[in-house]
Chain A
Amino acid sequence: MRRLLLAGAASAALVLAAGCGGPGGSAGGDGGEKEIVIGVIADLTGATGDVGTPYNEGMLAYVDYLNAQGGIKGHKIKAISEDYAYKVPVAEEKYRKYVSEGAVAIQGWGTGDSEALRSKVKDDELPFMSASYAEVLTDPAQSPYNFVVAPTYSDQMRVALDYIAAKDPTAQVAVFHHDSPFGTAPVADGEKWIKDKGYQLGYKAYAMKTGATDYIGLLQQAKDQGAKYIVIQNVSSPAAVVARDIAAQQLDMTIVCLNWCADELFIKTAGTAAEGHLMVQPFAPPGANKPGHQPIREYAQSKGIDLDAKGLHFVQGWYTMHVMAKGIEKVLEDGKEVTGPNIRAALESMPAVDTGGVIGPVQFSADSHRGSTASGIYQVSGGKLTEVAAAVVPKS
């Protein structure tokens, strides 16, 4: 008898447990127009969290700013933003969650998650923007739903090589890159560019060990090569280590940082060793005070945020979301429903988005999801990014 009772209780419990499923679908807007759900996958506490956090803050700040103005044609944006700590499996789980909550577009972050989700967004038909500027993501044939707002790493490399060739036509260039697809992305394209343009530059690539306390071995190899310029495709911390090592060794080498080490963090970490090095950075830092920085400054002031302390990644996040919002705006202007494929079509057909000089006008097309090709070149002087050349495009 007792066993029967227990068995009955157990099966009732099982049915109850099975009955309560997981989180329900997305909540609709309360009153007014329907909300537009955008899923944001951010790295706040992971390996690249130090730059991922201001980027995410900038993105969410833009959503807040837009919603305060009534949203896009009356539709508010619901941005679901969660931290994946740079772990690809977690990014996939967040993606599935956003899809089940009715997201119509996704904002990603790093190369790992952008690549991992590339075929999924293609099958699920959701436009995907991220801070990974790998060239492969700009080809609609391979990545039909990926959109790259900024110049690709390869474009930045081309700009850097153009600049070096103009200054010092026979220089040797060493490329220090992160040991990953993110790092190797621009390497082959750089070599090809030198051949295509007939430059006399020497060119050799070296992989940077992760978590190393010094890059003396690499610098020695570069010295053997006779390198005068070191292009670094990596994040700020390892690049700062290289800068400090160059200063300690008193080597006559100039670093040319591509966008991920060309920021305030590099200057802060390297300290005085950062002086004189060059930065290729598509997004203008707040200190450059372009017209496009104005709305951000106003918003920041109203919220008590110190924009200069947040740095250029805040601006980067702001404008990346801005481009996506422009695509959604066009969908609504055309009177269509806000779905993934419609946003994609709108992004491909919309006129160039003016960002007030922060980054060149951003425009996509059915043949190219490369939004812009222009980068600014800066030099570190007096602990600040000082503009040397603005909106430089690779030589045609």
Chain B
Amino acid sequence: MAATATGVYHTSYASELRLRHTNAERFRLVLMIVGLLALPWTVNAYWLGIVNTIGIAVIGAVGLNILVGFTGQISLGQGGFLAVGAFTSALLARAGVPVPLAMLAAVLMTAAVGAFFGLPALRLKGLYLAIATIASQEIIVFVVRRWGWLTGGQGFLDVERLTLFGWRVPRHSFEFVWYWIIAGLAVLAVISARNLFRTALGRSFMAVRDQDIAASAIGVDLARTKLIAFAVSSGYVGLAGALTSHYTETVTWERFTIDVSIQYLAMIIVGGLGSVAGSVYGAAFIMLLPPLLAELATLVRGFAPFVADQLPAVQAAAFGLVIVLFLLFEPRGLDRIWQRVKDYIRFWPFRY
């Protein structure tokens, strides 16, 4: 029966530290695991491919949310960091390094680059930091486009199909195999991010977001914390970039423009700033929008051909409209909407 629980009480430290406290939460977790396991067998290759891109976006969005949502440092430089991760991993793989190691190296490299580009955050805040990150994004893209050595003068990199321990991913089950790799890494990313914010380091990130001057007064080393936040966040984004390069098998600068940075920001705004689950919801929402609109366009082609003819413009307009509408009506995003749904059911018949 609803509305009888007066709260969740713990009788041991172990139970307090658990990630799920109530039976309802545990049940939903089981549902989700079942869903994740069953998914690749229920959708066709095209939609599985889209799910894979969502998975990669989840990793990137979680990373970005650590920086923007939890540490309050506005950053528009994701595209550049994705590029660093992608190029590092691709170049190392071409040089013969086994792919898992190459990806690990990409994570570390992007974390280092992220920490470097996080140096302006020590002097700048808010809007100025945002503008500095725009500059870093444009400079990284410029370097990637012009530095011939990176791509051997070709302008883009070809990446060999993924070969793990001598076994090459077969063509007919390409999406299927990648689903398990990406889903596994995404789950790891989400759990590790969740855990991060139960540690002292995570709490110091949030302290910096809320009131950084007061935080430094109680002993949080601002410089160190901000740089670590940039590094950790960029590590996640670097992993997403490395996955992109091996999954799509080409690395071109066109994937890493400022439009991509804006897309990731949209994901965490729509999903909910400062919430790991929100990053997942937001990533799924924003990445599903274009294909769903494409399906809608073919459906209404009969009486509204305009949508199908101008599909890219409609998709761009829908993207902008979604951002504006969410900010106007629910600035705390999908996560908050889900919370409200749960609360409504939980407290029924009471209002609060």
Seen from chain A, the residues whose Cβ lies within 8 Å of a Cβ on chain B are: 1-3, 6-7, 10-11, 14, 18-19, 21-25, 44-46, 82-85, 87-90, 92-93, 96-97, 99-100, 112, 115-116, 118-120, 123-124, 136, 179-181, 184
A179→B148 CA distance, assembly (Å): 12
Residues of chain B within 8 A of A124, CB atoms compared: 171
Q: Which 9 A-B pairs have the closest CB atoms?
A: A181-B155, A22-B47, A85-B312, A100-B46, A21-B43, A116-B250, A18-B42, A88-B254, A96-B49
Whether B2 contacts A23 by the Cβ 8 Å rule is no
Whether A96 contacts B1 by the Cβ 8 Å rule is no
- CB A47 to nearest CB in B, in angstroms, measures 10
Whether A45 contacts B312 by the Cβ 8 Å rule is yes
Residues of chain A within 8 A of B218, CB atoms compared: none
Contact of B252 among A10, A90, A100, A112 (CB under 8 A): A112
Residues of chain A within 8 A of B44, CB atoms compared: 21-25, 100
Count contacts on B: residues with CB < 8 A to the other chain. Answer: 44
Given contacts A7-B24, A45-B311, 13 further A-B contacts (CB under 8 A): A3-B2, A18-B43, A19-B42, A22-B43, A23-B46, A87-B254, A93-B50, A93-B291, A100-B44, A116-B156, A179-B145, A180-B155, A184-B155
Residues of chain B within 8 A of A82, CB atoms compared: 294, 311
Whether A6 contacts B345 by the Cβ 8 Å rule is yes
Residues of chain B within 8 A of A84, CB atoms compared: 312
Residues of chain A within 8 A of B312, CB atoms compared: 44-46, 83-85, 87, 90
Query: A88-B252, A124-B171 are contacts. A3–B24 as well, Cβ < 8 Å?
Result: yes
Inter-chain residue pair count (beta carbon < 8 A): 103
Query: A14-B35, A181-B154, A184-B155 are contacts. A93–B27 as well, Cβ < 8 Å?
Result: no
Best-buried of B145, B252, B290 by chain A (most CB within 10 Å): B252
Tell me if B158 is interfacial: C-beta within 8 Å of chain A.
Answer: yes
A290→B62 CA distance, assembly (Å): 60
Residue pairs across A and B with Cβ atoms less than 8 A apart, 15 shown, are A2-B2, A3-B24, A18-B39, A23-B295, A83-B311, A83-B312, A84-B312, A88-B252, A89-B248, A89-B254, A100-B45, A119-B159, A124-B171, A136-B154, A184-B155
Whether A88 contacts B255 by the Cβ 8 Å rule is yes
Residues of chain A within 8 A of B290, CB atoms compared: 90
Of residues 317 to 347 in B, which have CB atoms within 8 Å of A's CB atoms? 345
A3→B35 CA distance, assembly (Å): 20
- CB A181 to nearest CB in B, in angstroms, measures 3
Residues of chain A within 8 A of B31, CB atoms compared: 10-11, 14
Tell me if B249 is interfacial: C-beta within 8 Å of chain A.
Answer: yes
- CB B151 to nearest CB in A, in angstroms, measures 8
Tell me if B38 is interfacial: C-beta within 8 Å of chain A.
Answer: yes
Contact with A along B1-17 (1 / 0, CB 8 A): 11000000000000000
Residues of chain B within 8 A of A21, CB atoms compared: 42-44, 47
Seen from chain B, the residues whose Cβ lies within 8 Å of a Cβ on chain A are: 1-2, 24, 27, 31, 34-35, 38-39, 42-47, 49-50, 53, 145, 153-156, 158-161, 171, 248-250, 252, 254-255, 290-291, 294-295, 309-313, 345
Whether A123 contacts B161 by the Cβ 8 Å rule is yes
Whether A89 contacts B255 by the Cβ 8 Å rule is yes
Best-buried of B161, B294, B345 by chain A (most CB within 10 Å): B294
Whether A115 contacts B156 by the Cβ 8 Å rule is yes
A116→B249 CA distance, assembly (Å): 8
Whether A1 contacts B155 by the Cβ 8 Å rule is no
Best-buried of A10, A24, A84, A181 by chain B (most CB within 10 Å): A181
Residues of chain B within 8 A of A24, CB atoms compared: 44
Whether A119 contacts B249 by the Cβ 8 Å rule is yes
Whether A97 contacts B345 by the Cβ 8 Å rule is no
A84→B69 CA distance, assembly (Å): 32
Residues of chain B within 8 A of A25, CB atoms compared: 44
Query: A21-B43, A21-B44, A22-B44 are contacts. A115–B49 as well, Cβ < 8 Å?
Result: no
A22→B291 CA distance, assembly (Å): 10
Whether B46 contacts A22 by the Cβ 8 Å rule is yes
Nearest residue (CB) in B for A101 is B46
Nearest residue (CB) in B for A111 is B155
A89→B156 CA distance, assembly (Å): 14
Nearest residue (CB) in A for B294 is A82
Residues of chain B within 8 A of A180, CB atoms compared: 145, 155
- CB A135 to nearest CB in B, in angstroms, measures 12
Best-buried of B27, B250, B255, B295 by chain A (most CB within 10 Å): B250
